[in-house]
Structure 1
């Protein structure tokens, strides 16, 4: 298993990419003509990144059941 520092670095990279995609989606939606297909693809990629972020967070801080 990877160490916590490596997981944290991956998490930061994914969060940055997620934020960048969000900004790109907002820019595309504000600039006519709106390319719905491109926006839909970016949103799917953003959602996949969110899932990866959640997985990494759970790997870094596992649930403790007492």
Structure 2
């Protein structure tokens, strides 16, 4: 893989930070809804699915920005 330019690295870093924040926000929202006895399980399931999608992208971005040196 070609080395990233500083601009690409910065853009990916910003995306990573945004995805981590959204993941944390969803986690908090899911916890709040679940503990409040909120009954819309479909909404909670959609939120959990979105959270998993975000986690996959976070791992992908981390692998791009922090490649494993012992490959």
What interval of TM-score do these two structures reach, taking the shorter chain for normalisation?
A: 0.7 to 0.9
- For 2:38 and 2:23, how far apart are their aligned partners in 1? 24
Q: What is the alpha-carbon distance in structure 1 between the residues aligned to residue 43 and residue 24 of structure 2?
A: 17
Instruction: Extract structure 1 runs of 4+ deviating beyond 6 A.
Output: none
Residues paired across the two proteins, number:
66
Structure 1 stretches lacking a partner, 5+ long = none
Partner of 1:7: 12
The alignment's TM-score, normalised by the length of structure 2, stands at: 0.82
Does residue 54 (structure 1) correspond to residue 59 (structure 2)? The answer is yes
Over 3 Å counting, the alpha-carbon distance change for 1:33 and 1:64 in structure 2 is: closer
> Over aligned residue pairs, what C-alpha RMSD do you find?
1.6
Q: Which stretch has the larger CA shift, 45-54 or 29-38?
A: 29-38
Give SS of 2:39's match. Answer: coil
